A and B are shown apart, each in its own frame.
Chain A
């Protein structure tokens, strides 16, 4: 198989380049893209990428495969490269550290900005706080985020304003806490989001929805936040 991989080492006095490699893949199995990376690394140990759980839960191996963001470990090669050539690049929009490894600090900073923890200052009961199944149901499709950054790095608004627009991943989590019946900081959370950038830079492009490897829908969550902000303003 023909593979083209983005290579960059900041210590070498060379610009980034695409390296073309010809790799024999084992017959009879539809490999995941991560399997291909592991085969490449066995040949050339110098290629750098992040990976860990290899089952789509830890969120380490978000990369760009033939132009589309996704997790290498759960993307079959046949799906990523239906016409035979596999092109692997780092997630777009973030500074590259080396090869397929990007600097995720801007992404994490936006996550930290939304107060990503439950706020409830009333003394907790001796047992759990009760939450009815229909209240808990509202967290489905939100809490499952694995912080892989596939969505935010596919979002033109995030590319343009990575310091001011919270981005789809951060906003999905912002809504996860707004939607939690146990959380008491709704007003403060909304107040922190009402500036023109944090939420309102979302243009509804929906790249986030199309690439999310967990099938989550940040655009819908952003819509709900907008509604909460607007109804609060009336």
Chain B
């Protein structure tokens, strides 16, 4: 099976890249372990950030860029952030032209709502309304629109195919991948001139997360096993408002529309922690404040283990009009009608800021022998699995959907150009292809051992307890040992069901390999970064350390090595924003 471009993953980034490439006439395939509209982009709620100046007529992308750099706690690459914010409006208009059903203003323009960390006038002009929204179902509207337009463009869909590993030739270039067709159980080498990893996040390394059950870091696992590094993988965003116990997301748009958090005394506590932005401070700031309230004994509920998101003062009409999805989710998972009662919420793992390092074209980078960046031939990464890096140590709300479409588009454009210039297929040896199916063979040959479900549960517990909103050196050190031991046990674990057709037990085993790669990388780098920055907050190193850590981390799995990489402070058209104390 041969294509010009194979995109692994059918979420927002993958389908935006596929669309770009298919429209150029290239033979394009989206290979996805689920039917594309089931991808996790569908769960995004509140909006897609872009300075289209619909709600704030003077809004401009430079302000958006400033907010994103500050939000990243200064380890986002400024060339990439500049590109994203500058191209953002165009990328959003294109979605509208494709038919995306945005909510509208009275003048018929796209409706924009306030989101955390977004400001006007370089932080001096107050709150910005920059998140372009389709009610509170923006991700659903975006994903279905992209799927529809890919159907129109003639993209080939390999739906319910599971990517096992990249096929890398002896020159270190990627020739395609080995994948498993889930329904037939057939294993196939899919050859491509360009392979794009768009596999999304890995929130399932934590026992509770807003992420879908399939978010198991498949692309990260594939990259690490191919000898490639991951960047800033210790940076995990905990979303302030996951529904208590269920973990289901409640959009930041609730606070954008005027909702706020209260503790058990009914106090609006964010006024104490972020006097200006209050409930719309950066997500890392709000999440830490909530945990602080809970630790200080002001948590709500019989166990004092959560806080409350108050919306009733917005009135039933606004809630139903602007937040209909949230109303549904609250009733189902919290048994609460938000028009009357507050929603019990707790910071919940939500987003992986780190990922596979790339340049602004989505080309995957590794480190050459001389220590400088080197492009990996034939391989791209976009969306949550990539670290381009626009989110640094903390992502702003509504910037992830933007990241998907801007860099999906950019990768598509770059591949289109490379194909026009005549890049061809690379030929792997039989051994290269065999290497890529080695872990499948391992599971298929297992005869006895521990169960996948038990090992996964243990991994998720270790991560939840030790790599949460606050982290401590002792606990992290201990869990690195536990994860190393878990690696040995997973290598000997058992897949009892060897059947061929739609064998989901086999998929869960293959996913466990990936979860382990992500978890161990996270643990080792989190322990190595001896400072507190953005979402990485340590109780033994409580301050940001710009002298030593104003840099990306890189992690190589083969020798469990942590290295540093410079942050880009050289945007093309504006002055770089220099690090300042980050207050809201």
B152 lies within 8 A of chain A by Cβ: yes
Q: How far is the CB of B323 from chain A (nearest CB, A)?
A: 14
| Cα–Cα, bound, A130→B505 (Å) | 49
Interchain CB contact (< 8 A) of B501 among A98, A112, A118: A98
- Per-residue CB contact flags for chain B residues 365-405 toward chain A (1 = under 8 Å, else 0) read 00000000000000000000000000000000000000000
Instruction: Say yes or no: A97-B42 contact (C-beta < 8 A), given A54-B213, A130-B107, A182-B99.
Output: no
Interface pick from B114-122, B140-148, B349-357, B533-541 = B140-148
B430 lies within 8 A of chain A by Cβ: no
| Cα–Cα, bound, A128→B501 (Å) | 46
Instruction: Say yes or no: A132-B453 contact (C-beta < 8 A), given A52-B38, A116-B151.
Output: no
A229 lies within 8 A of chain B by Cβ: no
B110 adjacent to A128 (CB under 8 Å): yes
Q: How far is the CB of B154 from chain A (nearest CB, A)?
A: 12
A55 adjacent to B101 (CB under 8 Å): no
Chain B: number of interface residues, binned into ranges: 35 or more
A128 adjacent to B42 (CB under 8 Å): no
- Per-residue CB contact flags for chain A residues 117-140 toward chain B (1 = under 8 Å, else 0) read 110100010111111110110010
Interface pick from A13-21, A43-51, A158-166, A200-208 = A43-51
Inter-chain pairs besides A136-B101, A147-B37, 13 sampled, C-beta below 8 Å: A11-B500, A41-B504, A54-B212, A55-B333, A57-B42, A58-B38, A58-B40, A98-B502, A128-B109, A129-B97, A133-B104, A135-B104, A135-B108
Q: How far is the CB of A95 from chain B (nearest CB, A)?
A: 11
A218 lies within 8 A of chain B by Cβ: no
| Cα–Cα, bound, A111→B329 (Å) | 27
B34 adjacent to A52 (CB under 8 Å): yes
Q: Could you write out 13 A-B pairs with CB less than 8 Å apart?
A: A11-B499, A45-B508, A50-B34, A55-B248, A99-B502, A108-B35, A117-B148, A117-B151, A118-B99, A128-B97, A128-B110, A133-B104, A139-B101
| Cα–Cα, bound, A129→B104 (Å) | 11
A132 adjacent to B108 (CB under 8 Å): yes
B98 adjacent to A118 (CB under 8 Å): yes
Number of A-B contacts (CB under 8 A): 148
B38 adjacent to A59 (CB under 8 Å): yes
**Which residues does chain B contribute within 8 Å of A127, judged by CB atoms?**
52, 93, 109
A190 lies within 8 A of chain B by Cβ: no
A117 adjacent to B99 (CB under 8 Å): yes
Within 8 A of B (CB), among A168-186: 177, 180, 182-183
A194 lies within 8 A of chain B by Cβ: no
Interchain CB contact (< 8 A) of A128 among B96, B106, B144, B504: B96
B149 lies within 8 A of chain A by Cβ: yes
Q: Closest A-chain residue to B110, C-beta based?
A: A128
A116 adjacent to B140 (CB under 8 Å): no
A56 adjacent to B101 (CB under 8 Å): no
| Cα–Cα, bound, A58→B147 (Å) | 13
| Cα–Cα, bound, A177→B110 (Å) | 19
A45 adjacent to B37 (CB under 8 Å): no
**Which residues does chain B contribute within 8 Å of A98, judged by CB atoms?**
501-502
A217 lies within 8 A of chain B by Cβ: no
User: Which 6 pairs show the lowest CB-CB distances between chains A and B?
Assistant: A118-B99, A130-B108, A45-B505, A117-B148, A128-B96, A58-B38
B99 adjacent to A58 (CB under 8 Å): no
A42 lies within 8 A of chain B by Cβ: yes
| Cα–Cα, bound, A139→B502 (Å) | 36
A55 adjacent to B52 (CB under 8 Å): no
A81 lies within 8 A of chain B by Cβ: no
Q: How far is the CB of B243 from chain A (nearest CB, A)?
A: 9
B189 lies within 8 A of chain A by Cβ: no
List the interface of chain B (C-beta within 8 A of A). 34-35, 37-40, 42-43, 52, 92-93, 96-99, 101-110, 134, 137, 140-141, 144, 148-149, 151-152, 183, 212-214, 248-249, 325, 328-329, 332-333, 451-453, 495-497, 499-505, 508
**Which residues does chain B contribute within 8 Å of A58, judged by CB atoms?**
34, 37-40, 42-43, 212
A3 lies within 8 A of chain B by Cβ: no
Q: How far is the CB of A118 from chain B (nearest CB, A)?
A: 3
Q: Closest A-chain residue to B106, C-beta based?
A: A133
**Which residues does chain B contribute within 8 Å of A131, judged by CB atoms?**
104, 108
B99 adjacent to A180 (CB under 8 Å): yes
A53 adjacent to B38 (CB under 8 Å): yes
A144 lies within 8 A of chain B by Cβ: yes
A60 lies within 8 A of chain B by Cβ: yes
Instruction: Say yes or no: A48-B502 contact (C-beta < 8 A), given A41-B453, A117-B149, A147-B37.
Output: yes
Within 8 A of B (CB), among A44-98: 45-46, 48-60, 74, 97-98
**Which residues does chain B contribute within 8 Å of A103, judged by CB atoms?**
183
Interchain CB contact (< 8 A) of B496 among A9, A46, A120, A147: A46
Q: How far is the CB of A10 from chain B (nearest CB, A)?
A: 6
| Cα–Cα, bound, A117→B501 (Å) | 33
B103 adjacent to A97 (CB under 8 Å): no
A128 adjacent to B102 (CB under 8 Å): yes
B96 adjacent to A56 (CB under 8 Å): no
Interchain CB contact (< 8 A) of B502 among A55, A101, A104, A128: A101
A46 adjacent to B497 (CB under 8 Å): yes
| Cα–Cα, bound, A127→B110 (Å) | 10
**Which residues does chain B contribute within 8 Å of A180, judged by CB atoms?**
99, 101
**Which residues does chain B contribute within 8 Å of A132, judged by CB atoms?**
104, 108
A104 adjacent to B35 (CB under 8 Å): yes
A56 adjacent to B328 (CB under 8 Å): yes
A48 adjacent to B504 (CB under 8 Å): yes
Q: Closest B-chain residue to A60, C-beta based?
A: B38
| Cα–Cα, bound, A97→B184 (Å) | 10
Instruction: Say yes or no: A53-B40 contact (C-beta < 8 A), given A11-B501, A60-B34, A128-B110.
Output: yes
**Which residues does chain A contribute within 8 Å of B104, judged by CB atoms?**
131-133, 135-136
**Which residues does chain A contribute within 8 Å of B103, judged by CB atoms?**
133, 136
**Which residues does chain A contribute within 8 Å of B148, judged by CB atoms?**
116-118
B99 adjacent to A49 (CB under 8 Å): no
Q: Which of A51, A74, A118 has the most CB of B within 10 A?
A: A118
Q: How far is the CB of B246 from chain A (nearest CB, A)?
A: 8
**Which residues does chain B contribute within 8 Å of A10, judged by CB atoms?**
501
**Which residues does chain B contribute within 8 Å of A46, judged by CB atoms?**
496-497, 499, 503, 505
| Cα–Cα, bound, A2→B329 (Å) | 28
B329 adjacent to A49 (CB under 8 Å): no
Q: How far is the CB of B150 from chain A (nearest CB, A)?
A: 9
**Which residues does chain A contribute within 8 Å of B503, judged by CB atoms?**
46, 48
| Cα–Cα, bound, A56→B328 (Å) | 10
| Cα–Cα, bound, A19→B497 (Å) | 17
